[in-house]
């Protein structure tokens, strides 16, 4: 995993939390994940393809998700799981979009966030990309980011084919 990619996601996370939730994020631990690890009750996956292929997975305990929802909505009632899922999906989507912008990934398709709720969700190795793990904390509670992206071979192959065609 390129250091630049991890930094782009960290900066985007910091920006989203400061702008949308008016709170600081602390990045507690960085590391690589050779295999899945258990984490969180709520998982939001945003997949990307184009200049890069892979995904970002935002995972947190349900209580952290509820607190983030309350900060975003300004409500302190008991939210439905659908409302909480929508709010966390928005946060994850903004983080992925912000990282893509910071990293200047121009030819990129970003999926709609896919939310899964359940106890002790485990990371799912969706592809063979090397994965980076960032443990985070904020006033709402802990959360993790798992990032697994790599540059696509397709754009490079297309550029080489175009150059070869031009040379003829």
Q: Identify which of 90, 79, 129, 128 has the alpha carbon closest to the alpha carbon of residue 112.
A: 90
- End-to-end distance of the chain based on CA atoms, in angstroms? 37
Tally DSSP H helices, then E strands, for the chain. Answer: 4, 7
Question: Measuring CA to CA, how many Å separate 100 from each of 19, 46, 48?
Answer: 17, 12, 9
**Domain count within the chain:** 1
Q: What is the CATH number of the domain that holds 65?
A: 3.40.1550.10
pTM for the predicted model, two decimal places: 0.79
- pLDDT tens digits in sequence order for the chain, 168 residues long: 578 888 889 999 999 999 999 999 999 867 665 544 545 689 999 998 888 888 999 999 999 999 999 999 988 888 899 999 999 999 999 999 898 888 777 777 888 998 988 865 555 555 556 788 889 999 999 999 988 888 776 545 545 544 555 555
Buried b (16+ CB within 10 A) or exposed e, 75-106: eeeebeeebbbbbbbbbbbbbbbbbbebbebe
Structural domain boundaries, residue 122:
3-167
Residues 60, 115: contact at Cβ < 8 Å?
no
């Amino acid at each position: 995993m390129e250091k630049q990619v991890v930094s782009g996601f960290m900066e985007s996370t910091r920006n989203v939390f400061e702008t949308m939730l008016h709170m600081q994020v602390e990045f507690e631990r960085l590391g690589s994940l050779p295999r899945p690890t258990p984490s969180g009750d709520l998982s939001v996956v945003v997949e990307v393809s184009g200049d890069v292929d892979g995904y970002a997975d935002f995972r947190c305990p349900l209580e952290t998700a509820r607190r983030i929802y309350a900060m975003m909505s300004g409500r302190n009632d008991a939210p439905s799981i659908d409302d909480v899922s929508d709010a966390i999906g928005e946060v994850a989507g903004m983080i992925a979009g912000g990282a893509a912008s910071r990293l200047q990934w121009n030819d990129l398709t970003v999926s709609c966030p896919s939310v899964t709720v359940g106890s002790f969700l485990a990371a799912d190795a969706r592809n063979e990309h090397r994965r980076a793990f960032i443990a985070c904390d904020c006033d709402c509670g802990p959360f993790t980011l798992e990032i697994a992206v790599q540059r696509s071979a397709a754009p490079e192959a297309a550029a080489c084919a175009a150059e070869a065609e031009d040379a003829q």
